[in-house]
A and B are shown apart, each in its own frame.
Chain A
């Protein structure tokens, strides 16, 4: 069964600190992997997208890594801000299709 598991489920950090969110997936065949940020009550917004041949991709303070061999990805947030409080969702895509498998997300809370 194709699955996406994210850890931790929730995380609380202080403003200015760094954090790393983990994603393990079993989607196969695999095309690309995206990380989304979803604010409460809003639709998800794309942060990064990586193909199976890419190891890392940055978008400002967000850096995603991908190990296609072990089927693991991570999202590192540097110098967190209050506005980073949201759910972060890992989404691998089946090769050759438009189908995405959404992880359950990590709920991040940044405190002042």
Chain B
């Protein structure tokens, strides 16, 4: 199994500001994934983060808006930059291990 923690668990932010979300895994993994789940919607993959290389972003997501760091094999951060109310979502970190996908508890973000 994999134990994933995220910080913060929730936050309320003002538009135009930025928030950095941290994801910590209990053991080393090659790839970490960041998802967004907007209210009432399904999960959408934002990007894949490999240690030692730039993150790979999905269509509709750009590095300037969602910069990602992956300094080691157990940790990653996602920054939501220049926030607007449309960024209000749950942001989830995920890893694959032994053919099973594990998710963190999520960070619930509200932008006013």
Which residues of A line the B interface, CB within 8 A?
Answer: 32, 34, 41-46, 49, 89, 91, 98-100, 102-105
Residues of B within 8 Å of A49, CB to CB, are: 99-100
New contact pairs (14) apart from A43-B103, A43-B104, A103-B42, CB-CB < 8 Å: A32-B99, A41-B106, A43-B106, A44-B92, A45-B103, A49-B100, A89-B43, A98-B33, A98-B48, A100-B45, A102-B42, A102-B43, A102-B44, A105-B42
A10 nearest CB across to chain B (Å): 11
B89 shortest CB reach to chain A, Å = 13
Q: Is the CB of B96 within 8 A of A98?
A: yes
The secondary structure that dominates the A interface is: loop
Q: Give min CB distance, A26 to chain B, whole Å.
A: 15
Q: Are A89 and B42 in contact (CB under 8 A)?
A: yes
Q: Which residues of A contact B31 (CB under 8 A)?
A: 98
B49 vs chain A, min Cβ distance (A) = 12
* Distance between Cα atoms of A104 and B41 in the complex (Å): 6
Residue of A nearest to B4 (CB): A43
> Which B residues between 1 and 42 are near A, CB-CB below 8 angstroms?
4, 31, 33, 41-42
Closest beta carbon of chain B to A43's beta carbon, Å? 3
Contacts of B99 in A (CB 8 A): 32, 49
